[in-house]
A and B are shown apart, each in its own frame.
Chain A
């Protein structure tokens, strides 16, 4: 009855509906180009790296700290790995060093945030520039050549069911993070710290340790994403900064999905692919170059606006709920339902208008 709109999931899965709508619309408008398996595989693989980067961001954001250094970090680790391979390191050793480099950035971030008590926004903003500068020192601003070893490319480009294997890696990382955030004390502590650090401390949660850990996790995942990027696309000195905003946009849009009001893994993955599908479809139709950036920027702002609006309307419905309990819910259900629909629709409209 009154719960119907919720079970259809308009509110929690508006992104999935939007994704469906995109696919149907673009497939009808350009069936030969868009509605093909090749497009599906292509979009899935292209967006895997930024998806991993977004997942890396989820962890510190859950804990209430920013990591703005992910863009610089992924760039740095890609360059590190590729440089080492071109210097005839073995691939596993190079990967290990690359991932450790990413983790090291997280360790430093954590140290500054936890021990020096610098605001995480400032810390990681500064670290991003420091890491970029380090990259220039290491490379002398000359782009290393892409490795010729076919094993290097096959790390990510082996096909599994038609998809490049990097898509599978991304899903595995997503599952692990989902498990970590939802099904372990670690995740509960992170959400608690993100919700109210002082209350967490007074509940016995080792706030500093977990905050630090969250930044190490994001740094490590940047390292892994950096390896994958190097394997898929080869080295570039500047790609990292371009990935920062799409990743943030996805995480914030994701926080309005699946578990609205919380940064969460599956909402983030969903958001990445909703955005990617929209951009891809429009690009095929119009051949515009500015779409990707425009989409990311607008989405980031719109997602935060939606989350804020939802919180405010949540405060209103909270009061309703309180009064509801008092009167033993002797209220006509349709009224209740229609309001919920109205709320869901308004959110939906807001989401759609974000394109």
Chain B
């Protein structure tokens, strides 16, 4: 491969080569300025973290680089020293800018080999794929990201980090004569658990060592310190910070991201469990869970931790009835809830926020108002019609309380909201029903740090008002910040229960992976 052979010569003057130069980039939409005079310079082999809240202009910046948006006149963008034809995706690709989006766009049911071939084209003779060459080509592509995989393996058998690796490998394949110069990763770890994140970082470092500049978009601040050389922070379309990561603290970054507006939620003290539990689970078994028993009392926020495949991601859904259940008793508010019946679970006072918001949680075509009131239409029905005025005022109340932005957007379709605000609308739907048992799957996934704090505050308010909250999250910092108790799943069973000062990312990771010695945090 060209990239790997050039690695050796890269030290010295070559590394000073600018992989990307962006000068005076503004982008005005009909509604306003998404980007304002942004400058961005990346050296070859540099890993740059790109940070910013929801709607700060990150995606617009990326879409300008990929040629999807045409920026305002006066802007110059050079990729590897050559000018980009603005607003032309093919030019961006030709100059060596490559993009990997959050949904990786892999064909899950096909092999790694076929997925790689879809990107760069298969080597053919007389229109027939030359399998041996294709396999060699695939191995080379995988070697670039230091992934040791059998190209014949099916993508859906891979771990999340490996999938991302395949997507990166596919993106980096040379197109024509040009090798890749710039790799943009858009929130690659939004759905990865911590351990997988490590592996992905190793992969990204390998790419950077090959002389490719990397722009790494993330909401997770811990990653910035772990991975990035430099960081740029966007706020309201303006670049408010840029500099090396070394010497920065977490608080510095938070301050740059959100100004002084941010308060961190207080960790919640353990609740006295004298009352009857609101959620009582006995011997729950399903495809991924084995004899899980626990309870959650009023006022408690209980976290669920575990690596992907531990049953963590299935627990809330199974309790609620979104996924089938084999055996076991689930009681909510003292009422027995049978499996596979979300309607009955709701009637027993539970709420369920699924991890896949767009697939399971939101009605993107309906308005925010309709999204919020769909679960509670009965309270607005006075024959012969639904009372729009009562409905409107209820919806406005949730917009205010949850800080949903834009505040006057109650009649907008759900799809027009940013991800964080969509999630708040989903929460609004459940708060409107006044549930007593909250079952939350990755409740703040893809939500920026500011909105996250607001959601956490609403949840702790609900808990203080006497609700029971069960929160499953792959983000151990989130669990640390919000939970009074954390249960850890491994292979479908509860292997640890952490309380008080034991709740910290380190201990959660150890319990999740089943590590006895504090050393060797890597091996599963």
Contact = CB atoms under 8 A, between A and B. Distances in A.
A330 B386 CA distance: 37
A88 interface: no
A291 to B, nearest CB: 34
Contact of A195 (B34, B363, B386): B363
Contact of B31 (A192, A198, A199, A324): A324
B366 A320 contact: no
A141 interface: no
Interface class of chain A by DSSP: helix
Interface stretch (B87-95, B354-362, B510-518): B354-362
A192 B322 contact: no
Contacts of B406: 325
Interface string B173-211: 000000000000000000000000000000000000000
A202 B354 contact: yes
Contacts of B385: 179, 183-184
A353 interface: no
Contact of B322 (A202, A319, A330, A336): A202
A59 B196 CA distance: 47
Interface string B383-411: 01110000000000000000001100000
Contact of A203 (B32, B347, B374, B378): B374
A326 B375 contact: no
A335 B347 CA distance: 50
Nearest to A318: B416
Contacts of A331: 28, 30-32
B241 interface: no
A339 B236 contact: no
A261 B365 contact: yes
A204 B342 contact: yes
A175 to B, nearest CB: 12
A188 interface: yes
Interface in A170-213: 179, 183-185, 188-189, 191-192, 195-196, 198-206
Nearest to B375: A203
B82 to A, nearest CB: 28
Nearest to A2: B30
A327 B31 contact: yes
A8 interface: no
B139 to A, nearest CB: 38
Contacts of A189: 374, 377
Contact of B343 (A206, A322, A325, A327): A206
Nearest to B373: A188
A326 B377 contact: no
Contacts of B28: 331
B126 interface: no
A323 interface: yes
Nearest to B320: A202
A286 interface: no
Given A184-B386, A191-B370, A318-B415, A326 B34 contact: yes
A179 B236 CA distance: 44
Interface in A317-355: 317-331, 335-336, 339
A325 B32 CA distance: 8
B29 to A, nearest CB: 4
A331 to B, nearest CB: 5
A280 B491 CA distance: 70
Contacts of A204: 342-343, 346-347, 375
A185 B382 CA distance: 11
A202 B361 contact: yes
A184 B381 contact: yes
B237 interface: yes
Contacts of B374: 188-189, 192, 200, 203, 205
Contacts of B375: 203-204
Contacts of A185: 377-378, 381, 386
B55 A199 contact: no
Contacts of B34: 319, 323, 326
Given A321-B412, A326-B55, A330-B32, 18 more contacts: A195-B365, A202-B352, A203-B375, A204-B342, A204-B343, A204-B375, A262-B365, A322-B55, A322-B416, A323-B32, A323-B34, A323-B57, A324-B29, A324-B30, A325-B32, A325-B55, A326-B34, A331-B28
Interface of B: 28-34, 55, 57, 60, 236-237, 320, 322, 342-343, 346-347, 352, 354, 359-366, 370, 373-375, 377-378, 381, 384-386, 405-406, 412-413, 415-416, 418, 429
